[in-house]
Amino acid sequence: MSESPYTSGTTHFGFRDVAARDKQKLVGQVFTSVAGKYDLMNDLMSLGIHRLWKRYFTATAQVKPGDRVLDLAGGTGDIAALLRERVGKTGSIVLGDINAGMLTVGRDRMTDRGLVAGMEYVQLNAEALPFPDNSFDLVTIAFGLRNVTDKDAALGQMYRVLKVGGQARVLEFSEVTPEWFKPVYDFHSFKVLPRLGKLFAGDADSYQYLAESIRKHPPQEQLKAMMAAAGFARVRYTNLSAGIVAIHDGYKA
């Protein structure tokens, strides 16, 4: 089961146990630090493959012209930009992020790309979404769920704001499947990544946390069960790149 911070009073921040009330602040500090180098962060963590993962994630989403989409932990707008064409001129996308720095970077980049119409930006907490029930045709969260303190609450909120028949999609680092690959992946995560973070971003600690947060995130089957417990129907997942990341899908019945 995932942590229950509101009953236990503690949760994890990477490999450290911290008071649940402090995790949001600590995660905020990490992403404030890396906001200006978010693409570099993802390139270092994924060896550049994150761009292909995001394209597949959005290309296979259940979305059509006229739909209203909520992209949680929207970061610098990569997912929103890829979905903007798919929802068309009559559709709309809400890009939400808890971190003001990330949200500002995302808004500026979308504006620079000329993607202005049909876009909204909301600073929000995924555990308590400020939207009515049945508001969105599609809810996405890419590389953000592992940083949420109460993942069950966030999944419940995603379910609540979806319209009946709507789809929720989670793209997240997950558990690699080939046993031979695990030590290679661990070496890259814990030895190489923090050093690259220090070299290119001047911030080894944030990259160390990000590597640790991946290992603390629920693996594929556990997250599938959590989504089902939140009410989603037809929950399934697809591993990409030997399970380095996984896409989880669920629908509001």
In contact, 91 and 65? CB cutoff 8 Å = yes
Q: Is 242 marked as binding a ligand?
A: no
In contact, 139 and 94? CB cutoff 8 Å = no
In contact, 219 and 132? CB cutoff 8 Å = no
CA triplet 96, 11, 168: central angle to 5 degrees? 35
Q: Is 147 marked as binding a ligand?
A: no
CA–CA distance, 75 with 73 (Å, rounded to integer): 5
Closest CA to 12 of 202, 129, 98, 20: 20
Q: Is 204 marked as binding a ligand?
A: no
Q: Is 201 marked as binding a ligand?
A: no
Binding residues for S-adenosyl-L-methionine: 76, 97, 125-126
Binding residues: 76, 97, 125-126
